[in-house]
Amino acid sequence: MAADQHGCPLLACPHSSSCRLFFPEDPVKIVRAQGQYMYDEQGAEYIDCISNVAHVGHCHPLVVRAAHEQNQVLNTNSRYLHDNIVDYAQRLSETLPEQLCVFYFLNSGSEANDLALRLARHYTGHQDVVVLDHAYHGHLSSLIDISPYKFRNLDGQKEWVHVAPLPDTYRGPYREDHPNPAMAYANEVKRVVSSAQEKGRKIAAFFAESLPSVGGQIIPPAGYFSQVAEHIRKAGGVFVADEIQVGFGRVGKHFWAFQLQGKDFVPDIVTMGKSIGNGHPVACVAATQPVARAFEATGVEYFNTFGGSPVSCAVGLAVLNVLEKEQLQDHATSVGSFLMELLGQQKIKHPIVGDVRGVGLFIGVDLIKDEATRTPATEEAAYLVSRLKENYVLLSTDGPGRNILKFKPPMCFSLDNARQVVAKLDAILTDMEEKVRSCETLRLQP
């Protein structure tokens, strides 16, 4: 076989194994999608429980039309005056606490978090970052460094990165029976900050997803973020809320997931991506005036070729319009509660379901080997996901043990979809239990 100068085989296929497919054993070729449904090349219809990017539904006609109409008129960059960028910033500001009033537009969640890091460092004059364990904040070099989910598999932790435990009340050190898990987990952050300071390090920022999703669909206890912010600000740092997976009404009762932490909690920087453009590459950083002014004071221009283009802003505005017109935030509350209720019944029925947690249409089902140890049921979760796919339900797993079934469907996911998906889950779990029972019977036979 032909080889390159490093001796690596030269393959005809341009695909790198660093890029993975869903269901690698039996990948799906999707050729069309609408709302919460995806269709393969044979025309088979799948219910999409994975895509929080197609936030208001795949190929939503109003979003598609907004992009098309603006594309026909003008697509340029943010160095020219344009109404779309101003209208869009205005509309976003109406969803946020008034302190978060300066907006930067970009193309991806990674770009947003990288800019947030720069802003935090300029504002504080410090370098270091505190992150939650198992977090993922993006694929740029700067963000791999603050993503334990990635750097643990690479050359390790940089000296300017400090990791605090996930505020996981199901599997973490402080659980549902702890009298004050919010304070206990916030004190862990305080401890991490103090130990960094003892080494002469200075904290620029605390980065966290408002609901840690890659970490396993975690719901931090209420009050945790305010207490963390207090410890971080005391150390001279800022609080960055990564809303890339969980913002834009997904949690139902609030537009932003950080608002679950109470009215008084306001991050210094909020990063947005994925759902913001319903699949179009749009992202945004919202910052407070003092943070933005410190960045301006450097005198260095911020320019992003595609960020904030008239088309991107038209798409962003259309997403906000659809959310409002179709009342998708309220819809997420009602369908999410119904789905939680159905999944709760599965927990009673099937011992493998250890925990069902969530808010709105952000739900995790934690699969365990046994209740006493709560050991992640990793292989079982993978098996379930592949069986669900055979049953035309697209679902995936998250968490360090890859045992948490994650529900993050498009926001138009319906009550009927919830019923269908849980009925299929129930049938597969029952079948799995049946198989285990017959194996045990066989083993018991002399």
Ligand X SMILES: Cc1ncc(COP(=O)(O)O)c(C=O)c1O
257 touches 243 (CB < 8 A): yes
Region from 57-65, 108-116, 189-197, 227-235 binding ligand X, contact rule CB under 6 A = 108-116
Q: Six-digit token pair at 114?
A: 């990288």
Member of 168, 209, 355, 398 binding ligand X (CB under 6 A): 209
DSSP designation for 366: E
137 binds ligand X (CB under 6 A): yes
When the beta carbons of 316 and 354 are compared against ligand X, the nearer one is: 316
Residue selected from 70, 110, 227, 278 as contacting ligand X according to rule CB under 6 A: 110
Stretch of 32-40, 239-247, 348-356, 361-369 lying at the interface with ligand X (CB under 6 A): 239-247
Q: Which range touches ligand X (CB under 6 A), out of 35-43, 61-69, 102-110, 338-346?
A: 102-110
Q: Work out whether 329 is an interface residue with ligand X (CB under 6 A).
A: no
For position 51 contacting ligand X by CB under 6 A, the verdict is no
| Complex with ligand X: residue 271 or 417, whichever CB lies closer | 271
Residue pair 269/286 in contact (Cβ under 8 Å)? The answer is yes
Number of residues that bind ligand X (CB under 6 A): 15
Per CB under 6 A, the segment of 10-18, 242-250, 310-318, 327-335 that binds ligand X is 242-250
Tokens representing residue 101 in the block: 């009033």
Q: Sort strands 128-132 and 161-164 into parallel, antiparallel or unpaired.
A: parallel
Beta carbons within 8 Å of 146's beta carbon, 6+ residues apart? 113, 117, 129, 131, 135, 137, 161, 207
Per CB under 6 A, 245 contacts ligand X: yes
- Part of the chain binding ligand X (CB under 6 A), chosen from 105-113, 328-336, 338-346, 396-404: 105-113
Alpha helix stretches (DSSP H) within 125-271: 141-144, 148-151, 181-198, 224-234
The two three-digit tokens of residue 45, written as one number: 């219809």
Residue nearest to ligand X according to CB distances in the complex: 109
Alpha-carbon gap, residue 271 to 252, rounded angstroms: 19
Residue with tokens 């302190």: 99
* Closer CB to ligand X, 278 or 417, in the complex: 278
Would you count residue 113 as binding ligand X (CB under 6 A)? yes
Q: Which of 272, 276, 263 is nearest to 240 (CA)?
A: 272
> Which of 245, 363, 89 shows the shortest CA–CA distance to 256?
245
**For residue 118, with 0-12 CB atoms within 10 Å meaning exposed, 13-18 middle and 19 or more buried, which class applies?**
middle
Three-class DSSP category at 357: strand
356 SS3 class: strand
- Nearest approach, Cβ of residue 217 and ligand X (Å): 12
The correct pick among 252, 273, 307, 316 for binding ligand X (CB under 6 A) is 273
- Name which position in 56, 193, 244, 361 contacts ligand X (CB under 6 A): 244
Buried b (16+ CB within 10 A) or exposed e, 66-101: bbeebeeeeeeebeeebebbeebbeebeebbbeebe
Q: How far is the CB of 445 from ligand X (least distance, A)?
A: 49
> What's the closest the beta carbon of residue 25 comes to ligand X, in angstroms?
23
Query: From the CB of 331, what's the least distance to ligand X, in Å?
Result: 23
Interface segment toward ligand X; rule CB under 6 A; list 1-9, 131-139, 317-325, 399-407: 131-139
**What minimum distance in Å lies between the beta carbon of 113 and ligand X?**
6
Least distance (Å) between residue 228 CB and ligand X: 17
Neighbours of 366 (CB within 10 A): 25
> CB 445: neighbour CB atoms within 10 A?
6
Per CB under 6 A, does 242 bind ligand X? Answer: yes
Q: Which is nearer to ligand X, 136 or 407 (CB)?
A: 136
Q: Which is nearer to ligand X, 136 or 413 (CB)?
A: 136
User: For the chain, first and last CA: distance in Å?
Assistant: 54
Among 37, 88, 103, 136, binds ligand X (CB under 6 A): 136
Minimum distance, C-beta of residue 213 to ligand X, in the bound complex (Å): 6
Which two three-digit tokens encode residue 229?
């912010």
Run of H or E residues at 291 = helix 289-296
CA distance 414 to 269: 33
Q: Cβ closer to ligand X: 247 or 376?
A: 247
Minimum separation from the CB atom of position 143 to ligand X (A) = 7
Cβ of residue 138: shortest distance to ligand X, in angstroms?
Answer: 4
Residue 84 interacting with ligand X (CB under 6 A): no
Q: Does 133 participate in binding ligand X (rule CB under 6 A)?
A: no
Count of CB atoms situated within 10 Å of the CB of 18: 5
Is residue 221 helix, strand or coil? coil
Q: Verify binding: residue 109, ligand X, rule CB under 6 A.
A: yes
Binding site for ligand X (CB under 6 A): 108-110, 113, 136-139, 209, 214, 242, 244-245, 273-274
